[in-house]
A and B are shown apart, each in its own frame.
Chain A
Amino acid sequence: MTRLIGAELFKLRKRLMTRVLLYVLVGITIILYLLLLAVSKIAIPAHGPAEMGEIQNLLGLPMAIPFALSILSSLGSVLAVILMASSVGNEYNWRTIRTVLICSESRFKLLGAKLISTGILVLIGLGIGVATGFIMSLITTAIGGYSFDFSFATGGYLWDQFLQFWRTFFVLIPYVLLGFLFAIVGRSAMPGIALGIGILFLESLVTTFMRLAGGWIAQVPDYLLAANVRVITSLANLPQGFSQGMGIGNASAQLSGVTHAFITLTGYCLVFVTLAFYLFHKRDVTA
Protein backbone atom coordinates (compact mmCIF):
# COMPACT_ATOMS: atom_id res chain seq x y z
CA MET A 1 0.00 0.00 0.00
CA THR A 2 2.85 2.42 0.87
CA ARG A 3 4.31 1.80 -2.59
CA LEU A 4 1.01 2.66 -4.25
CA ILE A 5 0.58 5.79 -2.14
CA GLY A 6 4.11 6.82 -3.16
CA ALA A 7 3.25 6.25 -6.84
CA GLU A 8 0.00 8.22 -6.55
CA LEU A 9 1.72 11.13 -4.79
CA PHE A 10 4.42 11.09 -7.48
CA LYS A 11 1.77 11.40 -10.22
CA LEU A 12 -0.18 14.11 -8.38
CA ARG A 13 2.99 16.05 -7.63
CA LYS A 14 4.05 15.98 -11.28
CA ARG A 15 0.65 17.04 -12.52
CA LEU A 16 0.13 20.65 -13.53
CA MET A 17 -3.51 20.57 -12.42
CA THR A 18 -2.49 19.98 -8.80
CA ARG A 19 -0.41 23.15 -8.86
CA VAL A 20 -3.14 25.09 -10.68
CA LEU A 21 -5.67 24.13 -7.98
CA LEU A 22 -3.25 25.32 -5.34
CA TYR A 23 -2.68 28.61 -7.17
CA VAL A 24 -6.47 29.10 -7.39
CA LEU A 25 -6.80 28.48 -3.65
CA VAL A 26 -4.05 30.91 -2.75
CA GLY A 27 -5.19 33.46 -5.36
CA ILE A 28 -8.83 33.51 -4.23
CA THR A 29 -7.82 33.77 -0.56
CA ILE A 30 -5.61 36.77 -1.38
CA ILE A 31 -8.36 38.40 -3.45
CA LEU A 32 -10.95 37.90 -0.69
CA TYR A 33 -8.69 39.54 1.87
CA LEU A 34 -7.94 42.46 -0.44
CA LEU A 35 -11.66 42.90 -1.17
CA LEU A 36 -12.47 42.91 2.53
CA LEU A 37 -9.72 45.44 3.12
CA ALA A 38 -11.13 47.63 0.38
CA VAL A 39 -14.65 47.33 1.78
CA SER A 40 -13.41 48.14 5.29
CA LYS A 41 -11.89 51.36 3.97
CA ILE A 42 -14.89 52.54 1.99
CA ALA A 43 -17.62 54.30 3.88
CA ILE A 44 -20.82 52.66 2.62
CA PRO A 45 -23.91 54.53 3.83
CA ALA A 46 -25.88 51.33 4.39
CA HIS A 47 -23.21 49.96 6.68
CA GLY A 48 -23.35 51.06 10.24
CA PRO A 49 -20.36 51.06 12.60
CA ALA A 50 -21.26 47.52 13.74
CA GLU A 51 -20.92 46.02 10.25
CA MET A 52 -17.72 47.92 9.58
CA GLY A 53 -16.39 46.70 12.89
CA GLU A 54 -17.18 43.07 11.93
CA ILE A 55 -15.30 43.38 8.66
CA GLN A 56 -12.29 44.98 10.34
CA ASN A 57 -12.50 42.28 12.98
CA LEU A 58 -12.28 39.60 10.26
CA LEU A 59 -9.10 41.16 8.91
CA GLY A 60 -7.53 41.16 12.34
CA LEU A 61 -5.01 38.54 13.39
CA PRO A 62 -7.23 36.65 15.90
CA MET A 63 -9.75 35.89 13.15
CA ALA A 64 -7.13 35.09 10.49
CA ILE A 65 -7.10 31.33 10.97
CA PRO A 66 -10.85 30.80 11.56
CA PHE A 67 -11.67 33.02 8.60
CA ALA A 68 -9.17 31.23 6.35
CA LEU A 69 -10.64 27.88 7.42
CA SER A 70 -14.11 29.20 6.66
CA ILE A 71 -12.99 30.08 3.13
CA LEU A 72 -11.35 26.67 2.81
CA SER A 73 -14.44 24.77 3.92
CA SER A 74 -16.29 26.10 0.89
CA LEU A 75 -13.67 26.83 -1.78
CA GLY A 76 -11.57 23.93 -0.56
CA SER A 77 -14.49 21.53 -1.08
CA VAL A 78 -14.75 22.52 -4.73
CA LEU A 79 -11.02 22.14 -5.34
CA ALA A 80 -10.76 18.91 -3.37
CA VAL A 81 -13.66 17.37 -5.34
CA ILE A 82 -11.91 18.27 -8.60
CA LEU A 83 -8.64 16.76 -7.35
CA MET A 84 -10.25 13.55 -6.15
CA ALA A 85 -12.57 12.97 -9.09
CA SER A 86 -9.80 13.61 -11.60
CA SER A 87 -7.37 11.36 -9.73
CA VAL A 88 -9.77 8.42 -10.20
CA GLY A 89 -11.74 9.44 -13.28
CA ASN A 90 -8.80 10.37 -15.46
CA GLU A 91 -7.49 6.81 -15.15
CA TYR A 92 -10.54 5.93 -17.26
CA ASN A 93 -10.30 9.00 -19.50
CA TRP A 94 -6.67 8.29 -20.34
CA ARG A 95 -7.33 4.52 -20.42
CA THR A 96 -4.49 4.05 -17.94
CA ILE A 97 -6.76 2.15 -15.56
CA ARG A 98 -5.64 -1.24 -16.92
CA THR A 99 -1.97 -0.25 -16.96
CA VAL A 100 -2.27 0.83 -13.33
CA LEU A 101 -4.30 -2.17 -12.23
CA ILE A 102 -1.82 -4.70 -13.58
CA CYS A 103 0.91 -2.90 -11.64
CA SER A 104 -1.11 -2.76 -8.41
CA GLU A 105 -1.25 -5.26 -5.63
CA SER A 106 -5.04 -5.17 -5.51
CA ARG A 107 -7.93 -2.98 -6.55
CA PHE A 108 -8.74 -2.31 -2.91
CA LYS A 109 -5.21 -1.06 -2.25
CA LEU A 110 -5.16 1.03 -5.41
CA LEU A 111 -8.35 2.86 -4.44
CA GLY A 112 -7.11 3.17 -0.87
CA ALA A 113 -3.86 4.68 -2.13
CA LYS A 114 -5.79 7.17 -4.27
CA LEU A 115 -7.92 8.24 -1.31
CA ILE A 116 -4.97 8.57 1.05
CA SER A 117 -2.75 10.42 -1.42
CA THR A 118 -5.55 12.87 -2.28
CA GLY A 119 -6.25 13.26 1.45
CA ILE A 120 -2.59 14.12 2.04
CA LEU A 121 -2.68 16.75 -0.71
CA VAL A 122 -5.94 18.20 0.63
CA LEU A 123 -4.32 18.52 4.07
CA ILE A 124 -1.28 20.21 2.51
CA GLY A 125 -3.68 22.52 0.64
CA LEU A 126 -5.49 23.37 3.88
CA GLY A 127 -2.15 24.11 5.54
CA ILE A 128 -1.12 26.40 2.68
CA GLY A 129 -4.56 28.05 2.72
CA VAL A 130 -4.31 28.78 6.44
CA ALA A 131 -0.76 30.10 6.02
CA THR A 132 -1.93 32.32 3.14
CA GLY A 133 -4.81 33.62 5.26
CA PHE A 134 -2.51 34.41 8.15
CA ILE A 135 0.04 36.16 5.91
CA MET A 136 -2.76 38.15 4.28
CA SER A 137 -4.07 39.09 7.70
CA LEU A 138 -0.60 40.39 8.61
CA ILE A 139 -0.47 42.36 5.36
CA THR A 140 -3.99 43.80 5.69
CA THR A 141 -3.33 44.64 9.34
CA ALA A 142 -0.24 46.55 8.27
CA ILE A 143 -1.96 48.25 5.32
CA GLY A 144 -5.07 49.05 7.34
CA GLY A 145 -3.03 50.53 10.13
CA TYR A 146 -4.50 48.18 12.75
CA SER A 147 -2.50 47.06 15.77
CA PHE A 148 -0.23 44.01 15.83
CA ASP A 149 -1.32 42.35 19.03
CA PHE A 150 -0.48 38.66 19.48
CA SER A 151 -1.89 38.32 22.98
CA PHE A 152 -4.79 36.30 21.57
CA ALA A 153 -2.47 33.39 20.73
CA THR A 154 -2.95 31.49 23.97
CA GLY A 155 -2.85 27.71 24.30
CA GLY A 156 -6.63 27.58 24.32
CA TYR A 157 -6.86 29.64 21.15
CA LEU A 158 -4.32 27.48 19.32
CA TRP A 159 -6.10 24.30 20.45
CA ASP A 160 -9.40 25.70 19.12
CA GLN A 161 -7.78 26.47 15.77
CA PHE A 162 -6.22 23.02 15.65
CA LEU A 163 -9.68 21.49 16.20
CA GLN A 164 -11.21 23.79 13.62
CA PHE A 165 -8.55 22.76 11.10
CA TRP A 166 -9.61 19.11 11.46
CA ARG A 167 -13.29 20.06 11.47
CA THR A 168 -12.73 21.82 8.14
CA PHE A 169 -10.96 18.75 6.78
CA PHE A 170 -13.83 16.60 8.05
CA VAL A 171 -16.53 18.63 6.27
CA LEU A 172 -14.66 18.36 2.97
CA ILE A 173 -14.61 14.56 3.11
CA PRO A 174 -18.29 13.81 2.23
CA TYR A 175 -18.08 15.93 -0.94
CA VAL A 176 -14.68 14.50 -1.85
CA LEU A 177 -16.04 10.97 -1.43
CA LEU A 178 -19.12 11.87 -3.45
CA GLY A 179 -16.86 12.96 -6.31
CA PHE A 180 -14.82 9.79 -5.82
CA LEU A 181 -17.93 7.59 -5.99
CA PHE A 182 -19.39 9.22 -9.09
CA ALA A 183 -16.04 9.21 -10.92
CA ILE A 184 -16.05 5.43 -10.44
CA VAL A 185 -19.73 5.02 -11.32
CA GLY A 186 -19.34 7.14 -14.47
CA ARG A 187 -15.85 5.82 -15.30
CA SER A 188 -14.75 9.41 -15.90
CA ALA A 189 -13.64 12.49 -14.00
CA MET A 190 -16.57 14.59 -15.22
CA PRO A 191 -19.49 12.88 -13.40
CA GLY A 192 -17.50 13.04 -10.17
CA ILE A 193 -16.71 16.73 -10.56
CA ALA A 194 -20.19 17.66 -11.80
CA LEU A 195 -22.10 15.80 -9.10
CA GLY A 196 -19.64 16.56 -6.30
CA ILE A 197 -19.72 20.30 -6.94
CA GLY A 198 -23.34 20.32 -8.14
CA ILE A 199 -24.61 18.81 -4.92
CA LEU A 200 -22.39 21.13 -2.88
CA PHE A 201 -24.19 24.15 -4.37
CA LEU A 202 -27.66 22.83 -5.12
CA GLU A 203 -28.21 21.15 -1.79
CA SER A 204 -28.10 24.46 0.07
CA LEU A 205 -30.75 25.81 -2.28
CA VAL A 206 -32.93 22.73 -1.89
CA THR A 207 -32.46 22.94 1.87
CA THR A 208 -33.80 26.50 1.88
CA PHE A 209 -36.93 25.47 -0.02
CA MET A 210 -37.48 22.48 2.23
CA ARG A 211 -37.18 24.63 5.33
CA LEU A 212 -39.73 27.03 3.86
CA ALA A 213 -42.13 24.18 3.09
CA GLY A 214 -42.49 23.42 6.80
CA GLY A 215 -43.84 20.25 8.38
CA TRP A 216 -41.86 17.03 8.10
CA ILE A 217 -40.24 18.23 4.85
CA ALA A 218 -38.49 20.95 6.84
CA GLN A 219 -36.82 18.24 8.90
CA VAL A 220 -35.36 16.38 5.89
CA PRO A 221 -32.32 18.72 5.48
CA ASP A 222 -31.21 17.66 8.96
CA TYR A 223 -30.24 14.37 7.31
CA LEU A 224 -28.60 15.87 4.23
CA LEU A 225 -25.02 17.07 3.86
CA ALA A 226 -25.22 20.88 3.77
CA ALA A 227 -27.07 21.49 7.05
CA ASN A 228 -24.76 19.17 8.95
CA VAL A 229 -21.65 20.67 7.37
CA ARG A 230 -22.92 24.05 8.53
CA VAL A 231 -23.27 22.77 12.09
CA ILE A 232 -19.59 21.79 12.10
CA THR A 233 -18.28 24.94 10.39
CA SER A 234 -20.33 27.24 12.65
CA LEU A 235 -18.21 26.02 15.58
CA ALA A 236 -15.57 28.50 14.36
CA ASN A 237 -17.63 31.33 15.92
CA LEU A 238 -17.20 33.65 12.99
CA PRO A 239 -19.44 36.73 12.75
CA GLN A 240 -22.94 36.10 11.38
CA GLY A 241 -22.83 35.80 7.59
CA PHE A 242 -19.25 34.54 7.44
CA SER A 243 -19.66 31.12 9.01
CA GLN A 244 -21.69 29.36 6.35
CA GLY A 245 -19.13 28.87 3.64
CA MET A 246 -20.77 28.28 0.25
CA GLY A 247 -24.14 27.72 1.90
CA ILE A 248 -26.85 29.83 0.36
CA GLY A 249 -29.82 28.99 2.54
CA ASN A 250 -30.64 30.53 5.85
CA ALA A 251 -30.53 27.26 7.71
CA SER A 252 -28.58 28.29 10.73
CA ALA A 253 -31.70 28.99 12.71
CA GLN A 254 -32.62 25.33 12.66
CA LEU A 255 -29.28 23.69 13.09
CA SER A 256 -29.22 20.22 14.56
CA GLY A 257 -26.71 19.14 17.21
CA VAL A 258 -23.00 18.60 16.65
CA THR A 259 -23.20 14.88 17.49
CA HIS A 260 -26.07 14.42 15.07
CA ALA A 261 -24.09 16.27 12.39
CA PHE A 262 -20.97 14.23 13.03
CA ILE A 263 -22.87 10.93 12.88
CA THR A 264 -24.81 11.91 9.77
CA LEU A 265 -21.69 13.05 7.87
CA THR A 266 -19.73 9.98 8.96
CA GLY A 267 -22.64 7.81 7.78
CA TYR A 268 -22.60 9.46 4.36
CA CYS A 269 -18.82 9.02 4.12
CA LEU A 270 -19.10 5.32 4.93
CA VAL A 271 -21.88 4.79 2.38
CA PHE A 272 -20.00 6.65 -0.38
CA VAL A 273 -16.71 4.90 0.22
CA THR A 274 -18.27 1.44 0.60
CA LEU A 275 -20.26 1.81 -2.61
CA ALA A 276 -17.18 3.08 -4.48
CA PHE A 277 -14.99 0.18 -3.32
CA TYR A 278 -17.73 -2.38 -3.98
CA LEU A 279 -18.34 -1.13 -7.53
CA PHE A 280 -14.66 -0.88 -8.35
CA HIS A 281 -14.00 -4.35 -6.99
CA LYS A 282 -16.91 -6.05 -8.76
CA ARG A 283 -16.72 -4.44 -12.15
CA ASP A 284 -14.85 -5.85 -15.11
CA VAL A 285 -12.27 -3.48 -16.52
CA THR A 286 -12.68 -3.65 -20.26
CA ALA A 287 -11.76 -1.33 -23.11
Chain B
Amino acid sequence: MESHPDSREGVDIILRTVGLTKRFGKLEAVKDLNLELHKGEVFGFLGPNGAGKSTTVGMILGLVAPTAGQIELFGLKLNKDRWAKLRRVGAVIEEPAFYPYLSGWDNLEALARAIGGIPKAKITEVLERVNLLDRAGDRYDHYSMGMKQRLGIASTLLRDPELIILDEPTSGLDPAGTKEVRDLIPQLAHEHRAVFLCSHLLHEVELVCNRVAIIKQGIMLANAPVQELLMKGQLLQIKVDDLGQAASILTNLPWIKSVKIENDYLIIDAPEDSASLVNKTLAEHNIFASELVNRNVSLESIFLQLTGGESGD
Protein backbone atom coordinates (compact mmCIF):
# COMPACT_ATOMS: atom_id res chain seq x y z
CA MET B 1 0.00 0.00 0.00
CA GLU B 2 1.24 3.48 -0.84
CA SER B 3 2.06 5.79 2.05
CA HIS B 4 -0.93 7.55 3.55
CA PRO B 5 -0.98 11.34 3.38
CA ASP B 6 -1.80 11.51 7.06
CA SER B 7 0.35 8.71 8.40
CA ARG B 8 2.59 9.16 11.43
CA GLU B 9 5.47 6.86 12.12
CA GLY B 10 5.49 4.80 15.29
CA VAL B 11 1.84 5.31 16.15
CA ASP B 12 -0.65 2.45 16.43
CA ILE B 13 -3.14 2.96 13.67
CA ILE B 14 -6.62 1.85 14.62
CA LEU B 15 -8.46 2.97 11.50
CA ARG B 16 -7.25 3.96 8.08
CA THR B 17 -9.23 4.76 4.97
CA VAL B 18 -7.56 5.18 1.60
CA GLY B 19 -9.38 6.76 -1.30
CA LEU B 20 -12.71 5.82 0.24
CA THR B 21 -15.52 6.66 -2.16
CA LYS B 22 -19.25 6.01 -2.17
CA ARG B 23 -21.64 6.79 -4.97
CA PHE B 24 -25.42 6.44 -4.75
CA GLY B 25 -26.38 6.51 -8.43
CA LYS B 26 -25.06 9.81 -9.73
CA LEU B 27 -24.57 11.28 -6.27
CA GLU B 28 -21.06 11.01 -4.94
CA ALA B 29 -21.65 10.97 -1.18
CA VAL B 30 -18.00 10.45 -0.19
CA LYS B 31 -15.08 11.27 -2.45
CA ASP B 32 -11.59 9.89 -2.08
CA LEU B 33 -11.52 10.11 1.70
CA ASN B 34 -8.23 9.49 3.47
CA LEU B 35 -8.39 9.23 7.24
CA GLU B 36 -6.24 7.85 9.99
CA LEU B 37 -7.16 7.31 13.59
CA HIS B 38 -4.55 6.43 16.17
CA LYS B 39 -4.70 4.65 19.51
CA GLY B 40 -5.58 6.94 22.41
CA GLU B 41 -6.93 9.61 20.09
CA VAL B 42 -10.32 11.32 20.11
CA PHE B 43 -11.04 12.15 16.50
CA GLY B 44 -13.77 14.63 15.63
CA PHE B 45 -15.55 14.12 12.33
CA LEU B 46 -17.47 17.21 11.35
CA GLY B 47 -19.58 18.31 8.46
CA PRO B 48 -22.90 19.94 7.61
CA ASN B 49 -26.05 17.93 6.85
CA GLY B 50 -25.53 15.51 3.98
CA ALA B 51 -21.76 15.91 4.10
CA GLY B 52 -21.20 12.15 4.03
CA LYS B 53 -20.40 11.54 7.71
CA SER B 54 -22.97 8.80 8.31
CA THR B 55 -22.12 7.18 4.98
CA THR B 56 -18.46 7.12 6.03
CA VAL B 57 -19.35 5.59 9.40
CA GLY B 58 -21.63 3.10 7.61
CA MET B 59 -18.74 2.05 5.37
CA ILE B 60 -16.38 1.64 8.33
CA LEU B 61 -18.94 -0.58 10.06
CA GLY B 62 -19.69 -2.65 6.97
CA LEU B 63 -23.26 -1.39 6.67
CA VAL B 64 -22.62 0.44 3.41
CA ALA B 65 -20.49 -1.03 0.64
CA PRO B 66 -17.80 1.37 -0.63
CA THR B 67 -17.77 2.08 -4.34
CA ALA B 68 -13.99 2.42 -4.27
CA GLY B 69 -11.15 2.67 -1.81
CA GLN B 70 -10.08 0.66 1.14
CA ILE B 71 -10.72 0.48 4.86
CA GLU B 72 -8.23 -0.94 7.33
CA LEU B 73 -9.10 -1.67 10.93
CA PHE B 74 -6.31 -2.50 13.35
CA GLY B 75 -3.87 -2.70 10.44
CA LEU B 76 -5.88 -5.28 8.49
CA LYS B 77 -8.16 -4.91 5.51
CA LEU B 78 -11.81 -4.83 6.54
CA ASN B 79 -13.17 -6.96 3.71
CA LYS B 80 -11.32 -10.07 4.90
CA ASP B 81 -12.60 -11.75 8.07
CA ARG B 82 -14.73 -8.72 8.81
CA TRP B 83 -16.21 -9.91 12.11
CA ALA B 84 -12.78 -10.45 13.71
CA LYS B 85 -12.20 -6.70 13.31
CA LEU B 86 -15.70 -5.37 13.83
CA ARG B 87 -15.94 -7.34 17.06
CA ARG B 88 -13.34 -4.88 18.40
CA VAL B 89 -15.47 -1.86 17.46
CA GLY B 90 -18.35 -0.38 19.43
CA ALA B 91 -20.67 2.08 17.75
CA VAL B 92 -23.77 4.17 18.17
CA ILE B 93 -24.92 5.47 14.81
CA GLU B 94 -27.05 8.59 14.82
CA GLU B 95 -29.63 8.18 17.57
CA PRO B 96 -29.38 4.99 19.62
CA ALA B 97 -31.88 2.33 18.56
CA PHE B 98 -32.95 -0.51 20.84
CA TYR B 99 -35.95 -2.78 21.24
CA PRO B 100 -38.75 -0.72 22.80
CA TYR B 101 -40.39 -3.69 24.55
CA LEU B 102 -37.21 -4.75 26.35
CA SER B 103 -35.69 -3.20 29.44
CA GLY B 104 -32.30 -1.50 29.26
CA TRP B 105 -30.75 -4.59 30.82
CA ASP B 106 -32.50 -7.00 28.42
CA ASN B 107 -31.44 -4.91 25.44
CA LEU B 108 -27.83 -5.21 26.50
CA GLU B 109 -28.28 -8.90 27.23
CA ALA B 110 -29.70 -9.48 23.73
CA LEU B 111 -26.66 -7.76 22.23
CA ALA B 112 -24.29 -9.60 24.57
CA ARG B 113 -25.80 -12.93 23.51
CA ALA B 114 -25.37 -12.01 19.83
CA ILE B 115 -21.74 -10.95 20.31
CA GLY B 116 -20.95 -13.88 22.59
CA GLY B 117 -18.49 -14.29 25.44
CA ILE B 118 -19.82 -11.37 27.47
CA PRO B 119 -20.58 -12.22 31.12
CA LYS B 120 -23.57 -10.68 32.90
CA ALA B 121 -21.16 -8.89 35.22
CA LYS B 122 -20.02 -6.88 32.22
CA ILE B 123 -23.58 -5.66 31.65
CA THR B 124 -23.73 -4.49 35.26
CA GLU B 125 -20.35 -2.81 34.87
CA VAL B 126 -21.23 -0.85 31.73
CA LEU B 127 -24.62 0.19 33.08
CA GLU B 128 -22.93 1.42 36.23
CA ARG B 129 -20.38 3.27 34.16
CA VAL B 130 -23.06 5.30 32.37
CA ASN B 131 -25.02 5.74 35.59
CA LEU B 132 -28.03 3.72 34.44
CA LEU B 133 -27.92 0.69 36.71
CA ASP B 134 -30.80 1.83 38.93
CA ARG B 135 -33.07 2.15 35.86
CA ALA B 136 -31.81 -0.95 34.08
CA GLY B 137 -35.08 -2.82 34.64
CA ASP B 138 -37.25 -0.14 33.04
CA ARG B 139 -38.55 -0.59 29.51
CA TYR B 140 -36.47 1.19 26.87
CA ASP B 141 -39.48 3.08 25.49
CA HIS B 142 -39.95 4.65 28.92
CA TYR B 143 -36.42 6.09 28.88
CA SER B 144 -35.71 9.77 28.37
CA MET B 145 -33.52 10.76 25.42
CA GLY B 146 -30.57 11.19 27.75
CA MET B 147 -31.03 7.68 29.17
CA LYS B 148 -31.26 6.27 25.64
CA GLN B 149 -27.99 7.97 24.75
CA ARG B 150 -26.34 6.58 27.86
CA LEU B 151 -27.63 3.09 27.06
CA GLY B 152 -26.16 3.53 23.58
CA ILE B 153 -22.75 4.32 25.07
CA ALA B 154 -23.09 1.37 27.46
CA SER B 155 -23.78 -0.92 24.50
CA THR B 156 -20.57 0.20 22.80
CA LEU B 157 -18.57 -0.66 25.93
CA LEU B 158 -19.97 -4.20 26.20
CA ARG B 159 -17.21 -5.77 24.13
CA ASP B 160 -14.32 -3.63 25.44
CA PRO B 161 -13.79 -2.10 22.04
CA GLU B 162 -10.52 -0.65 20.83
CA LEU B 163 -12.42 1.75 18.60
CA ILE B 164 -15.59 3.53 19.68
CA ILE B 165 -17.67 5.32 17.09
CA LEU B 166 -20.13 7.81 18.54
CA ASP B 167 -22.52 9.75 16.36
CA GLU B 168 -23.99 12.74 18.22
CA PRO B 169 -23.57 11.19 21.68
CA THR B 170 -24.86 14.26 23.52
CA SER B 171 -27.93 14.77 21.39
CA GLY B 172 -30.96 15.26 23.61
CA LEU B 173 -28.98 15.43 26.83
CA ASP B 174 -29.45 18.15 29.42
CA PRO B 175 -26.38 20.27 30.33
CA ALA B 176 -25.44 17.94 33.21
CA GLY B 177 -25.78 14.89 30.99
CA THR B 178 -23.80 16.58 28.23
CA LYS B 179 -20.97 17.31 30.65
CA GLU B 180 -21.09 13.75 31.95
CA VAL B 181 -20.71 12.31 28.45
CA ARG B 182 -18.12 14.93 27.50
CA ASP B 183 -16.03 13.92 30.53
CA LEU B 184 -16.48 10.24 29.69
CA ILE B 185 -15.19 10.50 26.11
CA PRO B 186 -11.54 11.45 26.88
CA GLN B 187 -11.54 8.82 29.64
CA LEU B 188 -12.51 6.18 27.11
CA ALA B 189 -9.66 7.21 24.83
CA HIS B 190 -7.18 7.15 27.72
CA GLU B 191 -7.98 3.50 28.19
CA HIS B 192 -5.93 2.82 25.04
CA ARG B 193 -8.92 3.09 22.83
CA ALA B 194 -9.60 5.46 19.98
CA VAL B 195 -12.82 7.42 19.78
CA PHE B 196 -14.33 8.52 16.47
CA LEU B 197 -16.78 11.27 17.33
CA CYS B 198 -19.33 12.78 14.97
CA SER B 199 -20.90 15.81 16.55
CA HIS B 200 -22.51 19.04 15.53
CA LEU B 201 -21.62 20.61 18.89
CA LEU B 202 -18.38 22.21 17.77
CA HIS B 203 -17.51 23.61 21.17
CA GLU B 204 -17.78 20.10 22.58
CA VAL B 205 -15.55 18.73 19.83
CA GLU B 206 -13.02 21.48 20.52
CA LEU B 207 -12.96 20.46 24.18
CA VAL B 208 -12.61 16.70 23.79
CA CYS B 209 -10.97 15.99 20.43
CA ASN B 210 -7.26 15.79 19.68
CA ARG B 211 -7.80 15.95 15.96
CA VAL B 212 -10.63 16.84 13.62
CA ALA B 213 -11.59 16.32 10.03
CA ILE B 214 -14.14 18.51 8.33
CA ILE B 215 -15.99 17.26 5.27
CA LYS B 216 -18.51 18.84 2.97
CA GLN B 217 -20.31 17.15 0.08
CA GLY B 218 -18.11 14.12 0.62
CA ILE B 219 -14.85 16.01 0.23
CA MET B 220 -12.45 16.47 3.13
CA LEU B 221 -11.74 20.15 3.66
CA ALA B 222 -9.47 19.89 6.70
CA ASN B 223 -7.82 17.15 8.71
CA ALA B 224 -5.48 18.34 11.45
CA PRO B 225 -4.90 18.43 15.21
CA VAL B 226 -7.38 20.80 16.82
CA GLN B 227 -4.65 23.13 18.11
CA GLU B 228 -3.04 23.32 14.71
CA LEU B 229 -6.34 24.19 13.11
CA LEU B 230 -7.03 26.85 15.73
CA MET B 231 -3.57 28.35 15.28
CA LYS B 232 -4.07 28.45 11.52
CA GLY B 233 -7.25 30.32 12.02
CA GLN B 234 -5.80 32.87 14.41
CA LEU B 235 -6.37 36.49 13.42
CA LEU B 236 -4.78 39.78 14.38
CA GLN B 237 -7.01 42.48 15.77
CA ILE B 238 -5.64 46.03 15.42
CA LYS B 239 -7.00 49.38 16.55
CA VAL B 240 -5.73 52.47 14.67
CA ASP B 241 -7.08 55.96 14.04
CA ASP B 242 -7.20 55.72 10.26
CA LEU B 243 -8.72 52.33 9.55
CA GLY B 244 -9.11 52.92 5.79
CA GLN B 245 -5.50 53.89 5.15
CA ALA B 246 -4.18 51.10 7.34
CA ALA B 247 -6.39 48.61 5.50
CA SER B 248 -5.12 49.74 2.07
CA ILE B 249 -1.48 49.47 3.21
CA LEU B 250 -1.91 45.97 4.65
CA THR B 251 -3.98 44.69 1.73
CA ASN B 252 -1.01 45.27 -0.57
CA LEU B 253 1.26 43.03 1.48
CA PRO B 254 1.54 39.60 -0.21
CA TRP B 255 1.77 37.61 3.04
CA ILE B 256 -1.49 38.94 4.38
CA LYS B 257 -4.43 36.74 3.31
CA SER B 258 -7.27 39.09 4.17
CA VAL B 259 -8.04 42.42 5.80
CA LYS B 260 -11.42 43.55 6.96
CA ILE B 261 -12.86 46.28 9.15
CA GLU B 262 -15.08 45.12 11.96
CA ASN B 263 -16.41 47.39 14.75
CA ASP B 264 -13.58 49.98 14.66
CA TYR B 265 -10.97 47.24 14.38
CA LEU B 266 -8.90 45.86 11.56
CA ILE B 267 -9.10 42.06 11.45
CA ILE B 268 -6.14 40.56 9.64
CA ASP B 269 -5.58 36.99 8.57
CA ALA B 270 -1.81 36.83 8.58
CA PRO B 271 0.81 34.19 9.35
CA GLU B 272 1.49 33.28 12.95
CA ASP B 273 4.03 35.58 14.72
CA SER B 274 3.52 38.35 12.18
CA ALA B 275 2.22 40.89 14.72
CA SER B 276 5.55 42.73 15.04
CA LEU B 277 5.97 42.91 11.27
CA VAL B 278 2.46 44.32 10.85
CA ASN B 279 3.15 46.88 13.56
CA LYS B 280 6.45 47.87 11.93
CA THR B 281 4.83 48.25 8.49
CA LEU B 282 2.11 50.51 9.85
CA ALA B 283 4.63 52.58 11.85
CA GLU B 284 6.65 53.13 8.65
CA HIS B 285 3.53 54.81 7.27
CA ASN B 286 3.07 56.86 10.45
CA ILE B 287 0.14 54.81 11.58
CA PHE B 288 0.47 53.73 15.17
CA ALA B 289 -1.59 50.93 16.65
CA SER B 290 -3.22 51.64 19.99
CA GLU B 291 -4.15 47.97 20.29
CA LEU B 292 -2.71 44.87 18.61
CA VAL B 293 -3.80 41.48 19.88
CA ASN B 294 -4.12 37.92 18.64
CA ARG B 295 -7.79 37.09 18.28
CA ASN B 296 -8.53 33.47 19.10
CA VAL B 297 -10.71 31.70 16.63
CA SER B 298 -13.10 28.97 17.65
CA LEU B 299 -13.49 25.68 15.86
CA GLU B 300 -17.00 26.82 15.06
CA SER B 301 -15.81 29.82 13.07
CA ILE B 302 -13.26 27.69 11.23
CA PHE B 303 -15.97 25.17 10.48
CA LEU B 304 -18.32 27.86 9.21
CA GLN B 305 -15.55 29.39 7.14
CA LEU B 306 -14.62 26.08 5.54
CA THR B 307 -18.13 24.90 4.91
CA GLY B 308 -19.41 28.21 3.68
CA GLY B 309 -21.57 28.94 6.69
CA GLU B 310 -23.62 25.72 6.73
CA SER B 311 -24.59 24.50 10.14
CA GLY B 312 -23.05 21.30 11.39
CA ASP B 313 -24.75 18.05 12.02
Contact = CB atoms under 8 A, between A and B. Distances in A.
Contacts of A11: 99, 102, 110
A106 B83 contact: yes
B61 A102 contact: yes
B54 A10 contact: no
Given A3-B116, A103-B111, A16 B155 contact: no
Nearest to A17: B101
A102 B99 contact: no
A284 B102 CA distance: 27
Contact of B109 (A10, A94, A100): A10
A99 B115 CA distance: 11
A14 B106 contact: yes
B54 A287 contact: yes
A33 B58 CA distance: 53
Interface in A1-41: 3-4, 6-7, 10-11, 14-16
Interface in A107-163: none
Interface residues of A, number: 25
B265 to A, nearest CB: 44
A94 B97 contact: yes
B8 interface: no
Given A10-B109, A105-B83, A3 B97 contact: no
A78 to B, nearest CB: 22
A95 interface: yes
Contacts of B106: 10, 14
Interface in A193-211: none
Q: How large is the interface on B (under 10, 10 to 19, 20 to 34, 35 or more residues)?
A: 20 to 34
Contacts of B33: none
Interface string B67-100: 0000000000000001100100101011111111
Contact of B54 (A16, A96, A99, A286): A286
A50 interface: no
Contacts of A16: 101
B101 A98 contact: no
B98 A99 contact: yes
B1 interface: no
B63 A100 contact: no
Contacts of B101: 14-16
B4 interface: no
Contact of A102 (B91, B98, B116): B91
Q: Which among B89, B113, B115 has the greatest number of chain A C-beta atoms within 10 A? A: B113
A256 B171 CA distance: 61
A14 B93 contact: no
Nearest to A90: B99
A98 B63 contact: yes
A212 interface: no
Contacts of A101: 61-63
Contacts of A14: 101-102, 106
B102 A286 contact: no
A3 B93 contact: no
B64 A10 contact: no
22 contacts: A3-B115, A4-B114, A6-B113, A7-B110, A10-B110, A14-B102, A15-B101, A16-B101, A94-B100, A95-B95, A96-B97, A98-B61, A99-B93, A101-B61, A102-B62, A102-B91, A103-B114, A106-B82, A284-B63, A285-B64, A286-B55, A286-B64
Interface of A: 3-4, 6-7, 10-11, 14-16, 94-96, 98-106, 284-287
Given A7-B114, A11-B110, A102-B93, 14 more contacts: A3-B116, A7-B113, A11-B102, A15-B101, A16-B101, A98-B93, A98-B97, A99-B98, A102-B63, A103-B111, A103-B114, A284-B65, A285-B58, A286-B64
Ranked 3 nearest A-B pairs via Cβ: A7-B114, A7-B113, A95-B97
